A and B are shown apart, each in its own frame.
Chain A
Amino acid sequence: MRSRSDIGQDVDDLVDLFENAPCGYISAAPDGRIMLANRTLSSWLGIASEKIVGRKFIDFLTMPGKIYFETHFAPLVTMQGAFNEVALDMVKADGSRLPVLVNAVARVAEGGGVRFIRITIFNATDRRRYEKELVEARAAAERSTAALKELNSHLEERVSAVVQEKLAAESALHQAQKIEALGHLTGGVAHDFNNMLAVVIGGLNMAQRRIERGTLDDVPKLLAAALDGANRAATLTQRLLAFARQQPLSPGSVDANKLVANMAEILASTLGEVIQKETVLASGLWRTKADANQLENVVLNLAVNARDAMPEGGKLTIETANTRIDEAYAADHDIAPGQYVMIAVTDTGCGMPPEVIEKAIDPFFTTKPVGKGTGLGLSQVFGFAKQSGGHLKIYSEVGTGTTMKIYLPRDYDGDGSGDLYKDEAVPRGSPDEVILLVEDDASVREVHTRMLEELGYSVVAADGPLAALQIIAARSDVALLFTDVVMAPMNGRKLADEARIKRPGLPVVFTTGYSRNAVVHNGVLDPGVIFLQKPATLGDLARKVRAALDT
């Protein structure tokens, strides 16, 4: 038996539930007049409950809501007694909108008539936002589909356009990479070159001071140090030119066995004591056609790589062999089929995984720590091999070792002229051999004059092509034209042509610090042209001049 106070408490509880439910409640008369509205709705709208009572639900809707409620939803309540989940906007006291989901149900009296209509209102602010996002996402998907259809319908031209774009982008990327590489190279070269110049300048300064003081004891040593620095700088430029594949090669007929054998001493000092060296030289090895100096550099380069792969020691093997490259291999490796001389350098070092092999010949790729390698070595080797009409092949297994094989084309009519002159004496001239030296740079002219005179030749110097032609015309005793290539108003090659009109068969030695120049085609000298790369040592100069005169 519940007491009166119990019942009172129950009523309070139900009233609380009605007023503070998480949804708005409205009870409306059959004609739509609101009889009761709960506190939740009142607080959402900011309108007091007593101001809601007496009005109609549509009074609180936006105009589209009023229209739709009247034409669609009110009829539903009449016809089917209820409607559910209708999305409408209510208007708050401040004029702003409250997105709501509305349910309505007609409560029917026992006699059959409608007692009242219960309208339940859910705050749909969040849901409406999700729905908006959903609709937008769907619209975006439809746009994408439409775009895809459009794309399909113009696939061919689009593909072509896209490919063009991609090519352009790649080209731009390559260009950017080139510039970046150039930055690396320039920075490194400037650094190395500065060091060498420091040695040269320092040595010369000190020598100059000794000479001024009249104490000449240390001068030869200081000059030797300066010369050493200068020679190293010259080597660096050679290396850079080789890397750029713009170094003019002077291919000659080379006996690779002899070349390797002659390197024994330098290899021994390079490899150190922990590495055992073995050479396996094929008997009856063909001669090959290559630039002997560069080939020596290449072998040394490979030996250094091999050494660095074996920090704990190991075995280095240099082999030579005659090989034949067949059509199939040639087609796969961008090389002409035929007979080749192979030089292989094998180490028992750490080896390289395939992905490293793949990148090994890329410029600046190096597995060595910063400061230990420039990343130019193998790239240079590869460049040399290709430029010589040959091939570089890398075989490597991680943990076992690496074999680098250079293939160089067989020289069928070699005469040994490409062999190194290392141990030969500097060939000299005689005063009755008059050399016409043409050089527009005064200090270089001075140096070359002295060098030629040192070698015993008589020198007539001209500061340009016009002066040189006058001398040719005036003197019949000029035995050789020694000329710079890049000059105004005519270059060295043109000068040589003019000179030979007056003096057919006049021997010519060209010299230049430039590499991409008039005497070079595809990186190789024109046949019969003798070329001296600046800066040149006395020995180089002596040999080139002698060779030209003796031809």
Chain B
Amino acid sequence: MSVVHRNNIKSTGKGGRTMLFAHGFGCDQNMWRYVAPQFEDDFRVVTFDHVGAGGSDLAAYDFQKYATLDGYASDIVEIGQELGIEGGIFVGHSVSAMMGVLASLKAPGMFSKLVLVGPSPRYINDGDYQGGFTQEQVDELLEFLDSNHMGWSQAMAPVIMGNPEQPELSEELTNSFCKTDPEIAKHFARATFTADNRADLAKVTVPSLILQCAEDVIAPVWVGHYLHANIPDSKLVLMKATGHCPNLSHPLETTDAIRSFVTA
């Protein structure tokens, strides 16, 4: 099993150092389409799809392995090993930010810097910790996934799922960028929204950048401050960008913030 095939790895750029861009919960490596190319002149730019997303090998999806973020972190380490990444820069969006933290702990030396875009170590509130979601809301989300696959109308979801031998059917969907097997989407959502990686933050040994958006319902500003306070040698940038995907909605601001960090 080739890791390149498994994770649909795309590598471009001319630089010697590697920037590895990881997409988060939702869609695939297309999330980086406006940002990653900006670094091609100075870096080897690598994008990929998590197993279960985009053009990854769905046959490699293992429900047990991907029940926690650790399984995804292992894949990132394998990608780094496959590509011989040393002292690279990991750029992770959303839940992938925490995967990058875990990968950096698993493989010291692979990454020299971490860029965390819209990160959160735990989404569910816990005592004084304000992750932004109540347990009930996360339960409702998982229930929603049971009954209403990521917002596709229910009658269509089984078409995507039920015709793996006819991918052209799902390709025809206008929402094709974010096509996902509903069972995998549900499993990924559970892994994401029930994760708690707060204890790992203090172990981070490399400099990290936290890009915190305004009005982000998924990773509120309070969480950005919490991360900054708990990750050693971290830098917090409060962006003007609103929402959860500044890499799409505000690619320039995002690119500039990352560039100033990685070239510093």
Give Cα distance in the complex from A402 to B234, angstroms.
Answer: 109
Residues in A with CB closer than 8 Å to B25 are 71
The answer on a CB contact under 8 Å between B217 and A70 is: yes
**Chain B CB within 10 A, most for which of A31, A65, A75:** A75
Is there an interface contact between A70 and B244, defined as CB atoms closer than 8 Å? Answer: yes
B59 within 8 A of A: no
Q: CA–CA, A82 to B244, complex, Å?
A: 18
Q: Looking across the interface, which residue of chain B has its beta carbon closest to that of A73?
A: B151
Complex interface: stretch among A129-137, A231-239, A269-277, A507-515 = A129-137
Q: Is A101 an interface residue (CB 8 A)?
A: yes
A residues 237-291 in Cβ contact with B at 8 Å: none
Partner of B217, one of A58, A86, A87: A58
Find A78's partner among B26, B155, B156, B245 (CB 8 Å cutoff): B245
B151 touching A84, Cβ below 8 Å: no
| Residue A500, interface by CB 8 Å | no
CA distance A69 to B148 in the complex (A): 13
Q: B175 on the interface (CB 8 Å rule)?
A: yes
A121: Cβ under 8 A from any B Cβ: no
Query: Distance in Å from the Cβ of A1 to the closest Cβ of chain B?
Result: 43
B248 proximal to A (CB < 8 A): yes
Residue numbers in B under 8 Å from A62 (CB-CB) = 140, 144
Task: Tell whether A91 is near chain B: CB-to-CB under 8 Å.
Answer: no
Q: Does B160 contact A (CB under 8 A)?
A: no
**B175: nearest residue on chain A (CB-CB)?**
A83
User: Are B26 and A75 in contact, with the CB atoms below 8 A?
Assistant: yes
Highest count of chain B CB atoms <10 Å: which of A56, A58, A64: A64
List which B96-151 residues lie within 8 A (CB) of chain A.
133, 137, 140-141, 143-145, 147-148, 150-151
The answer to whether B244 touches A72 (Cβ under 8 A) is no
Asked if A74 is at the interface (CB within 8 A of a chain B CB), the reply is yes
Q: How far is the CB of B49 from chain A (nearest CB, A)?
A: 14
Who on chain A is nearest to B25 by CB? A71
Given known contacts A71-B27, A75-B31, A76-B178, A63 and B150 CB-to-CB distance under 8 angstroms: no
- The number of chain A residues with a CB under 8 A from chain B is 38
B263 on the interface (CB 8 Å rule)? no
Q: Is the CB of A71 within 8 A of B153?
A: no
Known: A58-B217, A87-B148, A87-B154. A63 touches B178 (CB 8 A): no
B94 interface neighbour in A32, A71, A74, A124, Cβ under 8 Å: A71
Q: Chain B: which residue is nearest A130 at the CB level? A: B155
With beta carbons under 8 angstroms apart, the residue of B133, B140, B144, B218 that contacts A70 is B218
Listed by A's residue number, 13 A-B pairs whose Cβ atoms lie within 8 Å are A62-B140, A62-B144, A63-B137, A64-B143, A64-B148, A65-B144, A67-B141, A71-B218, A72-B151, A72-B175, A74-B248, A80-B174, A124-B153
Q: Which residues of B contact A (CB under 8 A)?
A: 24-27, 30-31, 33, 94, 133, 137, 140-141, 143-145, 147-148, 150-156, 158, 174-175, 177-178, 215-218, 242-245, 248-249
Interface residues of A (CB under 8 A from B): 31-32, 56, 58, 62-76, 78-80, 82-88, 101, 124, 127-128, 131-132, 134-135, 138
Known A65-B144, A134-B155; 6 more pairs at CB < 8 Å: A64-B141, A68-B151, A72-B26, A74-B249, A79-B33, A101-B153
